[in-house]
Each structure stands twice: as structure tokens, then as C-alpha cells.
A = this chain, B = another copy of it.
Amino acid sequence: MKIAVDAMGGDNAPAEIVRGAARAAMELDATILLVGREKDIKAELNDYYWDFSSDKIQIVNAAEVIENEDKPVHAVRTKKDSSMVRAVELVRDGEADAMLSAGNTGALMTASLLRLGRIEGIDRPAIVTSVPVIAEDGRFEIIVDAGANSECKPQNLMDFAYMGSVYYRSAYGKESPSVGLINIGVEETKGTPTLKETYQLLKMSSLNFVGNVEAREVPNGPADVLVCDGFVGNVVLKLSEGVTKTTMKAIKDAIYSSAMSKAGGLLIKGQMQKLKDKFNYETYGSAPILGVNGLVFKMHGSSSANAVYHAVHSAARVASGNVVEEIRNSIKDYQKQ
């Protein structure tokens, strides 16, 4: 297996990207293709991994870098020799089974659309994000769409549900993942006309649809695959992150506010650290862009070496399956109905 990594994308590139990817390479039965400025990548590798074989790590030179400030379409069109575009092209040309980037999300979406093309029948590719179910150790749920499409039609949401189900099975090994529709009430008459229509389509589908899901339930894992438009998905993800962070901080402040509670804080430190690890977004893997002809994963812009390490691992797991082909078949099947 070969996995391409955009070594130049993200706030901490290339140092953290190269280190994390190289660490994953040592463990995986795969070759990591580090795409970017050869000189910069080599310098990083020499600092940390003076002893690696080309079975494990190869460098693919690319002279340009797409920056966060770049306008997506313009950047992809003009920076043809950028690390991001080259890495996507490796997937297109069959030279890599998947690619990952922590760079400009819009540009990554655009590069995927322009270089790989949409899967037939898919109008809108979507970004999928995994989040841990706070109430249940070790379980994850996914949100589709996590931010690519602010406004959606019922047909788009149906595509998200099918793509999400295929992906969840591949990433987490569950045969018939449950699908929930994020809505403002559980009754099928709730929400916008778009959601009411989507509810009916999901009810008639072959998916394991469990109905509408209220936002309040999201931390309890009401379904494996949570379907919503990208605006709501973005709000759910960022608010969950924000509330968790602020609540943990408030607790820390409360503990530090008296000598007695400070002593108590020392005694619970070990358990709190375990909890903090659970909330650690660095270990959740990466977010695939589904609906294009190839495996592309978006990593968090501020990914550390540790985050990259986990992201490459999870991408390799998914790449060992056959997600793109399965999505193609799944969409073909249900659109025939």
C-alpha cells in the first residue's frame, strides 16, 4: 500500500507532518510518499530519522505550496506543481491508495473535484468527521456533512447517508450502522420541508434509519452516522469542541480556587487525564472527502506530529478496504430504485 502525504500543508508543516508520517511509516505495512519541497523534507527526515529505507518513505518533489489564504479554485488552477495537487494526482494515477493533507480545506475539496472527479450519481461530495461518543468509551459516531455544503437538498442528504454508512462500516467494522437525521424534534413532521422530505426518503431506504435525532443527544451517540447539512454539521462539531473545552477549563478553575479542592484535584488528576485523552481531537484520525473517485483525507490545520501519526494510521485502515468502489455501487443501487 502507498499513502501520499502533503508534507507542506498545515500550520506546522513541514516539521510536524514529516515527523508524524515517518513515525506511522515505521509501523505500517505501507510506503509513505512525502510530497513537497525535497530539500525541506529531507532536512526534517535527517534530523529525526537518519535511518529509513525507501520501502518505508519516499519523497515526491513538488516546488509550490498552497497557502491557507489562497483562493481555492485559483490556487488549484495556478499552482499545478503544489504539494497538495501533486499528492491528489498520485491518487488519480494509481500511484497512491490515499492522500492526506492538513492544508487549505477549500483547495483540497477543489483539487479532489477537479483531479479525481465526482463519483457518478453524486452531486455534492461531503466531508466526514468522526467524534467520540462521550457517554460510551471507545465508540465513535460520524457527522456527514461536516462543513462542505451549507445548503442541501433531500437528494444530497440521502447521498450523505449512503456514503456515511459505507464509510462507517469500513472505518469501524460495523455491518449495518445506524443512521440518524439531526433535527429539532424526533417526530417525522419536525423541521424544514427539506428535512421532512429526507425523513420520508430515509424511511423507505435500505439503510438502518433510526429517525430524527435531537442535538441534545449527540454526546450520547444516538446513531453511528449523523446526517445533516454542512452548516449544521459545522455548528455541531465546533460547539461540541467549544463546550467541552470551556467546561473542562471551568472545572480546572473551580478546583484551583481553594486549597482543599486543590488537594482534591491532585487525587483525581490521573482519572481526569484519562478523560482529557478521550476528548483529545488529535487521536480521532482524519476527515475523508467522500463522493470523489479516490481517497482524500483532510487533517486538522494545526495537526501535531501525533495527530498526523494517528491520521495516517486511520487512513491506512480505510485504504485497505474498498470504500470508493463500495460507495459507487451503493449509490448506483439506490438511485436505480
Contacts and interface: CB of A to CB of B under 8 A. Distances in A.
A261 B254 contact: no
Contacts of A248: 247
A244 B312 CA distance: 31
B261 A275 contact: no
A275 B251 contact: yes
A238 interface: yes
Interface stretch (A3-11, A15-23, A164-172, A209-217): A209-217
Given A240-B239, A268-B255, A270-B258, A246 B184 contact: no
Interface stretch (A56-64, A116-124, A198-206, A229-237): A229-237
A242 B254 contact: no
B238 A215 contact: yes
B216 A242 contact: yes
A278 B260 CA distance: 20
Output the residue of A135, A243, A251, A272 with the most chain B CB within 10 A: A243
B264 A239 contact: no
Q: How many copies does the complex hold?
A: 2
A156 B191 CA distance: 18
B247 A147 contact: no
B272 A251 contact: yes
A258 B271 contact: yes
Given A184-B150, A251-B251, A254-B268, A239 B260 contact: no
A150 B182 CA distance: 13
Contacts of A260: 267-268, 270
A151 interface: yes
Contacts of A30: none
Nearest to A278: B250
A320 B69 CA distance: 50
A134 interface: yes
A301 to B, nearest CB: 13
A215 B235 contact: yes
A228 B218 CA distance: 20
Nearest to A231: B184
Nearest to A182: B235
A321 interface: no
B219 A184 contact: no
B192 A151 contact: yes
Interface of A: 134-135, 147, 150-151, 182, 184, 191-192, 214-220, 230-232, 234-251, 254-255, 257-258, 260-261, 263-272, 274-275, 278
Given A251-B251, A251-B272, A268-B268, 10 more contacts: A147-B184, A182-B235, A216-B242, A217-B242, A219-B243, A243-B244, A251-B275, A260-B270, A261-B270, A264-B266
25 contacts: A135-B246, A135-B249, A150-B184, A150-B191, A184-B230, A184-B234, A214-B238, A215-B235, A218-B242, A219-B245, A219-B247, A231-B232, A235-B236, A235-B239, A240-B243, A250-B275, A251-B272, A258-B270, A260-B267, A260-B270, A263-B264, A264-B265, A265-B267, A265-B268, A268-B268
